[in-house]
Structure 1
Amino acid sequence: MVNLVNLESVSKSYGVRPLLDGVSLGVAEGDRIGVVGLNGGGKTTLLEVLAGVAPADSGRVSRVNGLRMAVVTQRTELPEGSTVGEVVLAEFGAEHEWAADARVRSIVDGLGISALGLDNPTGSLSGGERRRVALAAALVAELDLVVLDEPTNHLDIEGVRWLADHLLARRIAVVVVTHDRWFLDTVCGRTWEVVGGKVEQYEGGYADWVFARVERARLAATLEEKRRNLARKELAWLQRGAKARTSKPRYRIEAAEALISDVPPPRDSVELLSFARRRLGKTVIELEDITLTVGDRTLLESETWRIGPGERVGLVGVNGSGKSTLLRLLAGEREPEAGRRKQGLTVRLAHLRQELDDLPGQMRVLQAVEDVAARVVLGKQELSASQLAEKLGFPPARQWTPVEDLSGGERRRLQLVRLLMAEPNVLLLDEPTNDLDIDTLQQLEDLLDSWPGTLVVVSHDRYLIERVCDTVVGLLGDRHITHLPGGIEQYLARRDVHQAQAGAPAGTGKGSAAKASAAERRAASKELAKLERRLGVLDGKETKLHDALAAAATDPQRLMELNTELKSVRAEKDDVESRWLEISEAVE
C-alpha cells in the first residue's frame, strides 16, 4: 500500500519547547487516523507539518505526486468579501452542476450550509458557522486525504453523526484531531498519541487506545497504582456498554475484562441520590406552565418540567433549538413569557456558560482559584485549590501564569474550576467539553462521578452525556421537552423520522446502508465465532513464543527460528482480525 504522506525524523519547536522531536510516520491510502494528546502537546503542530501548512525545523516531509488533499485547521480563514456559496461551491459553475451531485447536496444539507444561506456574506457568520463553511468547502472536492483539526467542535449531535457516516462512506484517508470519543471510535482505525515530542502509534480507535494504555500501566505499575489509574475506570465504562461487547473480538473483550474485574461501577447512584436529597430537600428547580420565546419563535409553550435532587440530565437538540436559552431560564438569568420558575431554598447553583465570564485578569491562575476557596469537597474527594486546578488541566507551573495571558480555552477551564470551588449543589453545564483534551475530560468525569448534586448538561459530545447522565431529554421543535428513555439513539431516530416526514434528503454512509438478511447474519455469526476461536489459539501461540524467546536468550540459532515463527503467527493474526472486522462491519 502506497503512503500518501511520509514524515522522516521530523522535529518542530516553538521557542525553546520541542513539540515534535525526531518523528517518523506515514499516512497510507484509506487510513483513518485519530490524533490525541494533551492540549498544547503538539497535535495541531503535527497536523500542520504533515499538511504542509507549517514547515518542519528538521527532517523530511514527502507527499505522493498529484495528492488531492484538503486541510481544515482551527486557523483556517475564509476569503474576505465572499459569500457562503462562493466559498463552498467555488469549483462549480451554475447551480445545476452541484445540485445534480448527490454527494455535494448531502454535504450542503448535512453541515447546515443551506440553513446559513448560500448568498449570506461570510463576514456576518459566527466563529462556529465559519468553521462549518470551511469544512464543507474541503469536503465537496474530490480527495485522497483530508486533515481535520477539531471538526466536531461546532457541530450538534446529528452533525457529528453525519460527518462520521460521510467519512466512512467516502473511503478517503483521514487524519483528525478531536476530543469526541464516540467519533474516534466510530471513524478511526488507528490512533496517534502525541506525547513528549514523540508520536506513539496504536491500532484501533478510542476504546483500543484506552485498552493499550491500561495494559501499559499494568506492566509498569503496582496494583495500588493501577487502581488509581483513571484509564482503568474509563475502560470499565467502555466494556460495560453493549456496543463495546459486540464491536471487538472475543479474545480482546476477555483480556479487557480481566483488567477491570475489580473496578467498581463509575458511581453509586443510590448513595448519591440519598446524599443529594439530604443536601437539597424535595424541591430543586421547577418550571410550571412555562412559555418561552426567542424573537418570533416559540421554544416552549405551556410546558412543565420539575428537576429533582440528584437528577443527572442530558439536554439535546439541534443547533439553534434553544438549549442554551433553556439553561439560562433554569439558572434564573432570564424570565419566561408566561408561567413561573421555582427554586428550592437550599439550592446553590453554578452555571457554566459558553460565553466567558469576567475573570480577575490581574491575578495568577492559582490566586483566581483560591479567591473562591482554598479547599473543596466534591462528593468523597477533598481537594485543595491547586489539586483541582491540576485535575482540570493546569499543571503546577502553569498555575502561576497571569490570567490575562491565558488562551480562550484555558480561561474557560479556569471558569469551570472556579465554579466547582464554590461547592454548588446544582450544576448547569453548557458545552463543557469545548477546549478540553481527553485526559482532562476523564478527570472531569471522575469528579462528576462522585458529585452528589443535580446536574443538567448540554453537549454535542454523546459520549459525555451517556457517561455522566442518567436521563436524556430533547428539544425536538414541537414546543415541548421530550423525555427520551432510549437516550441519544432514540433522539437520533426521532430526528430521522422528523426529517423523513419533512422530505429531507436521505443521509449517506453506513447509517443508510442496506441491512444484511437474516440468513446472511446467521452465516456471518458462524464465521465470526470461528475466527474468534482462531484468534484465541493464535493469541496463545504468541504468548508461548514470547516465553520461549526469553528462555532461549543464549541460543542465537533457536532465537532466529522462534522469531521467524512469531512473525508468521503475527501475520496470520493480522489477517484473521482484518477478516473479523470486515464481517462485523458488514452486518452492523
Structure 2
Amino acid sequence: MAHLLGADRVTLTLGTRTLLDEVSLGLDDGQRIGVVGPNGAGKSTLLRVLSGIQAPDDGRVTRSGGTRIAVLEQRDDLGTGTVLAHIHGSADEYEWAADPRIRQVHDGLLPDVDMTADVSTLSGGQRRRVALAALLVRDDEVLVLDEPTNHLDVEGVAWLANHLSDRYRGNNGALVVVTHDRWFLDAVCTRTWEVHDGIVEQYEGGYAAYVLARAERARTASATEEKRQNLLRKELAWLRRGAPARTSKPKFRIDAANALIENEPPPRDRMELDRMATARLGKDVLDVEDVTLTFGDRTLLDDVTWRIGPGDRIGMVGVNGAGKTSLLRLLSGRLEPTSGRVKRGKTVQIAELRQDVEDLDELAHLRVVEVIESEKRSVVVGGKELTAAQLVERLGFTRERSRTPVRDLSGGERRRLQLLRLLVGEPNVLLLDEPTNDLDTDTLAALEDLLDGWPGTLIVVSHDRYLLERVCDKQVALLGDGALRELPGGVEQYLDLRRDALALPAASPAPAAPAFVESTASAADVRAARKEVGRIERRLSKIAELEARVHDKMAAQATDHVAVAALDAELRALADEKDELEAAWLEAAEIAG
C-alpha cells in the first residue's frame, strides 16, 4: 500500500487556541478517512494543513512525489462562468464526453442543471453539486472533502457515497472527508480520525466501529465521564440492533459490542411514550383532509389525506422542491391550503424548528442559560425534571459556553439553542425542518437521546438518513407528483422508487399515479394491485390501532402477569401479521406504481 501524504509533528495555533498539537499521521493509497469531532475542534483546519492551503506553525506535511490533491471547501465560491466551463474548463466536448466515469458524474450530480447556465444563478444545492462534479471528473490521487453532503438531499448523499466507495478502493487513490452525516461515514469510510483538544485519535472502521471503540475506552475512564459512557452505550445499542429500514447491520466486533450493551434497554420505551403521548394529546392530533396546495401553475399537494396520531414519529423525505417545508407550514398553521383543510386536535401545542436561525437575533444580548430560563426554569424530559442549566448542559453547552451571549455563538450552537427553546415550551407536537444543520456528531447523539424521552408527536424533514432511522418509527415521501406516499421499506424504498422513476423513458407520459417500474403488468393487474395496496394500508392502519389498545391494556394490567403474557402474545401476532403485510405491500406497490 503506497504512502501518499503525511503529517509529522504538526502544530498550529489560532489566537490563544492550539488546534493541532504535534499531530503525526499518514494517508495511504486505498484509504477512505472520515474526520469527526466537536465544532471548532480543528477538523477543517486539519484538512487545510494536509492539503497545503494553510502552513503549520511547526512540523511539516510531506507528499510522495507527484501526488495531486483536490480540495472541496465548505463554501462554494464558484465566481461566474457557465457550469460547463467550471467543470471542464476550455476542454472540447469530445475530450471528456466519451469517458464513462465522467458521464456517470454528470448523470449522478447534474441531471437537473443547465450546463450553459451561469454558476452565479444556481441554487445552493446546485452550486454544491457543480463544485463536487468539478473535482470528481479529475484524476487526483487524494480527494479532500469538507462537508460534501451540505445542501444534498437523501438521493444525492446516497449517490455520492456509492461513487466514492467504488472509486477509492484498492490502489485508486485516497479520500479524506469531514462530515457530520453518520450514515455517509458508515457507508464510505474505512478509518476514522477524531479531532479534539489539539490531537487526532485514529480508529479502524466507519462510524459504528468508532462508536464501539469510544465506548470501550469510556468504560475504563474516570467517573466524571459517566454521562458520556451512558450515551455512547445507548447509541451503540441502537447501532447493534440496526434500524428496521437498513438492509445490513453495522459490522464490528460482535462479542465486544454485546458485552457493552448486555443490559442496555432499547433507546425508547414505546409503550410508555405512547401512553404519555395519548394522555397529553388525546386521540385526535393532526388530520390533513383532501388537501390541495398550489403555487402558480405548480401543484405541490394534490388531494392529500393524512392522519397523524399521538406518539407518531415520522420522517419525511422527498425531492428538492416537492413541498416538504410547505407541508410543515400547513401542519403548523402558517400556511393555508388551496383547498381541503388541516384539522388540529383541541389539546395540540405545536412547536416548529425552521431552517433559519434569525429568530435568535432579538435575544443577542442574553446569555444562553438566560434565554432558556426566560422560557421556563425547569422541564420534565424522560420522566426526570431538569433545570434550565441541566438541559443546556445535556445538549452540549459547557458551563462556560452556557454563560456566552447569543451574539457570540457559532451556527451550530445557535441551532442547539433553537431546539432547546422549543423543548422547554413542552409542546406535544414537534415539527423539525432540517434539524441537523451545523451540528457535530456528538451533539446529534445528544439531541437524539433527548428526543428518545420526549413524549409527543414528532415529524422530521431531513436529508440526514441516520437521524431519520434513529428517531423516527416510519417514513413518508413527497415524490414531486403531488402525492404523499408511506414508505414501509424506509429510506431505502424511497431511493429504489426514485431510481426506478429516473429509469423511465423521458418521452413516456407521466401517469396520474406514478409508475415507478417498467410497465409489464396489464391494466387489470394494475387495478387489482391498487386495490390490494388500499386493502393492506387499511389493515396496517387497523393494526396500529390494535397495537395501541394492547399497549394501553398492558399498562392498565401491569401487575397481572398472566394477562400481560397473553397481551404480549397478541402483540407478537400483530407484529408478525404486519411484517407479512408490509412485504405484500411492497410487491403490490411495484405493480400498482
Using structure 2 for the length normalisation, give the TM-score.
0.81
Q: Which residue of 1 aligns with 2:113?
A: 116
Equivalent position amino acid for 1:87 in 2: H
Residue equivalent to 2:186: 185
CA RMSD of aligned residues (A): 2.0
**Distance of 2:224 and 2:263 partners within structure 1:** 11
- The aligned residue for residue 491 of structure 1 is 494
Give the residue type in structure 2 aligned to 1:465.
L
Kindly indicate whether the alpha-carbon contact (under 8 Å) linking 2:76 and 2:127 is maintained by their aligned counterparts in 1. no
The aligned runs of 1:171-570 (5 Å cut-off) are 171=168, 172-221=173-222, 225=226, 229-241=230-242, 248=251, 252-359=253-360, 360-502=363-505
Q: Which amino acid is the alignment partner of residue 67 of structure 1?
A: T
Report if the CA contact (8 A) 1:324-1:430 is conserved: yes
- Decide whether aligned partners of structure 1 residues 387 and 348 sit closer, same or farther in structure 2, where only a CA change above 3 A counts: same
Per the alignment, in what secondary structure is the counterpart of residue 489 of structure 1?
A: helix
- Provide, for residues 462-515 of structure 1, a one-character-per-residue CA deviation record: whole Å limited to 9, x for no partner: 1111111111111122321111111111111111111112469xxxxxxxxxxx
Q: Percent identity?
A: 60
1:404 Cα deviation from its structure 2 partner: 1.9
Instruction: Evaluate the alpha carbon distance shift between residue 97 and residue 320 of structure 1 in structure 2; reply closer, same or farther with a 3 A threshold.
Output: farther
Partner secondary structure for residue 258 of structure 1: helix
* 1:347 aligned partner, one-letter code: V
Q: Is 1:137 aligned to 2:138, yes or no?
A: no
Say whether the 8 Å CA contact 1:238–1:244 is kept in structure 2. Answer: no
Post-superposition offset of 1:24: 0.2
Is the 2:219–2:229 contact (alpha carbons within 8 Å) kept by the matching residues of 1?
no
- Report the alpha carbon displacement of residue 16 of structure 1 after superposing the two structures with TM: 0.7
Supply the AA of the counterpart residue of 1:459. S
> Structure 1: how far apart are the matches of 2:228 and 2:17?
33
Residue among 114, 117, 122 paired with 1:125: 122
How far the C-alpha of 1:197 sits from its partner, in A, is 0.5
SS of the residue corresponding to residue 149 of structure 2 reads coil
In structure 2, the CA distance between the partners of 1:302 and 1:267, relative to structure 1 (3 Å rule), is: same
For 1:381 and 1:433, the matched residues in 2 are separated by 25
Query: Displacement, 1:365?
Result: 2.0
Amino acid in the other structure paired with 2:332: A
Residue in 2 that maps onto 1:534: none
Whole-Å Cα distance in 2 between the matches of residues 13 and 442 of structure 1? 29
Which secondary structure state, in structure 1, belongs to the residue aligned with residue 375 of structure 2?
coil
Where 2:11 maps in the other structure, the secondary structure is: strand
Structure 1 letter corresponding to 2:307: R
Mapped partners of 1:178, 1:294: distance in 2:
35
Give the letter for the 2:107 counterpart. Answer: D
- Secondary structure class of the residue paired with 1:263: coil
Cα pair distance change 1:176/1:322, threshold 3 Å: same
Partner in structure 2 of residue 520 of structure 1: none
Question: Equivalent residue for 2:556?
Answer: none
TM-score for both structures, normalised by structure 1 = 0.81
Q: Distance in 1 between matches of 2:4 and 2:181?
A: 26
Contact 1:361 1:404 in 2 (8 A): yes
Whether the 8 Å CA contact 1:155–1:319 is kept in 2: the answer is no
**Partner amino acid for 1:13?**
T
Distance 1:228 1:126, change over 3 A: same
Mapped partners of 1:247, 1:424: distance in 2 = 34
Q: Is the 8 A contact 2:242 2:250 kept in 1?
A: no
* Aligned position for 2:83: 84
1:38 alignment partner, SS class:
coil
Q: 2:165 matched to which residue of 1?
A: 168
Letter in structure 1 aligned against 2:484: I
Q: Aligned equivalents of 1:87 and 1:336: distance in 2? A: 41
Change (3 A) 1:13 1:223: closer
Residues in 2 aligned to 1:349 and 1:265: alpha-carbon distance in whole angstroms: 27
SS in 2 for 1:334: coil
C-alpha distance 405-248 of structure 1, shift in aligned 2 (>3 A): closer
Deviation at 1:109, TM superposition (A): 2.5
Q: Distance in 2 between matches of 1:38 and 1:332?
A: 36
C-alpha deviations, 1:517-537, integer Å up to 9, x for none?
A: xxxxxxxxxxxxxxxxxxxxx
Does the Cα contact within 8 Å between 1:210 and 1:231 map onto a contact in 2? yes
Deviation at 1:65, TM superposition (A): 2.3
Q: Is the Cα contact below 8 Å between 1:239 and 1:245 reproduced in 2?
A: no
User: Following superposition of structure 1 onto structure 2, how do residues 13-32 of structure 1 map, counting pairs within 5 Å?
Assistant: 13-32=13-32
**1:429-482 C-alpha deviation (Å, 9 max, x unpaired):** 011111111111110000111110000001111111111111111112232111
Q: In 2, distance between residues paired with 1:224 and 1:369?
A: 25
In the alignment, what sits opposite 1:514? none
- My pick for the range that moved more, 378-387 or 207-216, is 378-387
Q: How far did residue 406 of structure 1 move?
A: 2.3
Give the superposition deviation at 1:76: 4.5
Offset of residue 127 of structure 1: 3.4
Q: Cα–Cα, structure 1 residues 482 and 76, in superposed 2: closer, same or farther, change >3 Å?
A: closer
Aligned residue number for residue 518 of structure 1? none
Whether the aligned pair in 1 keeps the contact of 2:12 and 2:58 (CA below 8 Å) is yes
How far apart in 2 are the matches of 1:467 and 1:315?
13
CA distance in 2 between counterparts of 1:244 and 1:263 reads: 23
Query: How far apart are residue 124 of structure 1 and its match?
Result: 2.4
User: Are the equivalent residues in 2 in contact too, given 1:149–1:176 (CA < 8 A)?
Assistant: yes
Shift of 1:391: 2.5
Task: Tell me the residue number matched to 2:7.
Answer: 7
Residue 98 of structure 2 is aligned to residue 100 of structure 1: yes
